[in-house]
Amino acid sequence: MRKEDLLEKKIPPASGVYFFLGRRKEVLYIGKATSLRTRVRSYFDGAISEKRSPLIEQMVQEARSLEWTETDSVLEAMLLETNLIRTHKPRYNTRSKDNKSYNHVVITREDFPRMLIIRAKDLADDGTYNKVYGPFPDGVLFKSALKIIRKLFRFYDTIAPSDAYRNKIRKGKLNFNRQIGLYPENISKQEYARTIRHLILLFEGKKERIIRELERDMHKAAKRKAFEEADMLKRKVFALQHIQDIALIRDDVRVYRDEKHFRIEAYDVAHLGGMDMVGVMTVLEGETPDPSAYRKFIIRTLLDADDPGALREILERRLRHTEWQYPNLIVVDGSTAQVNATQRVLSARSIHIPIVGVVKDEHHRPKRLIGPRKLIADHRASILFANAEAHRFAIGFHRAKRRKRIRV
């Protein structure tokens, strides 16, 4: 497959799964991505032999076309990738073949089924399991995914309610896990069976069906005036529609050095003595602004002037949007305080993106840049352009907000 063929395709920046297809439309390779556009481009930007194994280089040369499926989150992309690899068994997905150490998820056949993590070599073949999902080659990513799933649906794992009461230690662990929110609390067999059914639907890529069921139950609860139950169901629907899977993205945060696709996000804050405080995000792709990716933020958590605090709020809100492509570099208007505030937000989510601060003089002109020297040397002009664009956009947004308040 040639790079020219790729450029004809309008690959979205959304999360999802991509397929390299051979001459007879057979699936050669399946992969997942936070940004389909960025990940697929990485196979064709620069010398592929420097970035990929010889086997993947051979696969790209053999491929004749590319297809993809978008997902709402990286978590769903990860589950879909696993199911599709299991179904199609692509010959270039060698990492997922014949390896007895990879993790699988199994759901047991019990009154209160457990969801267990079992390595391939330890899988039983005696009808013990109701469902088996996997393999999941990346152990760290897999465990992060399970933590996210557990926030959506609490389930039993190593200890089942049926045998916990035969042993004081197991009973104590069961109760402790209930208290810290790992296990469901005071749930009937029927209710728990519903939870397990929803887990199965999630692993099989049928999230929309879960949402429809929950919304139907929410309306029923509201009709009979069970408002607490309706509110709980509403929050669960929202959580499913806005899966917070930042932890799964760090594997996809790569710095591609190709100048044409080097992405910069620049941030700035504007206010007048703390009043009408706003912030913005602007984006440069290569040396070209991408206004469609610009974003505005009204600061909600601060009453006084606090630029680092405002920047922290902006970044936290930005990172909730896992569907937005991640940048190769973040530029902030300010000095060490702003850079440190940005770094703390990223570090809390195990995200590694370089940061550059643009320090201004008393006339608000760039005085110096702080951050990785090599990146500053390679991208100085783009960094300053991105910063100026963020400042322009922030001032315009602030003035519009202030005028609106004065008119009112």
Per-residue pLDDT band for 40 (boundaries 50, 70, 90) equals confident
Q: What is the pLDDT of residues 347-383, one digit of tens each?
A: 888 888 999 999 998 878 888 999 999 889 888 889 9
Say if CB 360 and CB 367 are below 8 A apart: yes
pTM attached to this predicted model: 0.59
Higher pLDDT, 325 or 154: 154
Say if CB 241 and CB 72 are below 8 A apart: yes
Does the pLDDT value for residue 178 go beyond 90?
A: no
Q: What percent of the chain has pLDDT over 90?
A: 43
The pLDDT value given to residue 184: 85
Per-residue pLDDT band for 305 (boundaries 50, 70, 90) equals confident
**Section 19-26 average pLDDT:** 93
**Section 48-59 average pLDDT:** 69
Q: Show the domain range for 260.
A: 253-407
Say if CB 279 and CB 311 are below 8 A apart: yes
- Are 307 and 325 in a shared domain? yes
The pLDDT value given to residue 164: 60
- Are 318 and 351 in a shared domain? yes
CATH number of 88's domain: 3.40.1440.10
Q: What is the pLDDT of residues 85-138, one digit of tens each?
A: 989 999 888 654 556 668 889 999 988 899 998 888 888 887 789 999 988 877
Per-residue pLDDT band for 296 (boundaries 50, 70, 90) equals very high
Q: Tell me how far apart the alpha carbons of residues 364 and 404 are, in angstroms, rounded to a whole number.
A: 26
- Are 260 and 402 in a shared domain? yes
Higher pLDDT, 340 or 255: 340
Output the six-digit token pair for 196: 């397990």
- Give 259-316 as a 3 state SS string: HHHCEEEEEEEEEECCEEEEEEEEEEECCEECHHHCEEEECCCCCCCCHHHHHHHHHH
- Are 158 and 289 in a shared domain? no
Residue 176 covered by a domain: no
The pLDDT value given to residue 37: 85
* Nearby residues of 240 by Cβ (< 8 Å), 6 or more positions away: 152, 207, 210, 211, 214
The pLDDT value given to residue 230: 93
- Are 235 and 260 in a shared domain? no
Helix (H, G, I), strand (E, B) or coil at 370: strand
- Are 338 and 357 in a shared domain? yes
Residue 177 covered by a domain: no
Q: What is the pLDDT of residues 58-67, one digit of tens each?
A: 898 899 999 9
Would you list the DSSP string of 2-59? -HHHHHTS---SS-EEEEEE-TTS-EEEEEEESSHHHHHHTTTSS-HHHHS-HHHHHH
CATH number of 295's domain: 3.30.420.340
Q: Based on the structure, what is the number of domains in the chain?
A: 3
Given 46, 66, 96, the domain boundary residue is 96
φ/ψ of 189, rounded to 5, equals: -60, -40
- Are 244 and 258 in a shared domain? no
Q: How far is CA 180 from CA 184, 199, 270, in A?
A: 10, 20, 41
**Section 67-85 average pLDDT:** 91
Would you list the DSSP string of 195-255? HHHHHHHHHTT-HHHHHHHHHHHHHHHHHTT-HHHHHHHHHHHHHHHT---GGGTGGG---
The pLDDT value given to residue 51: 54
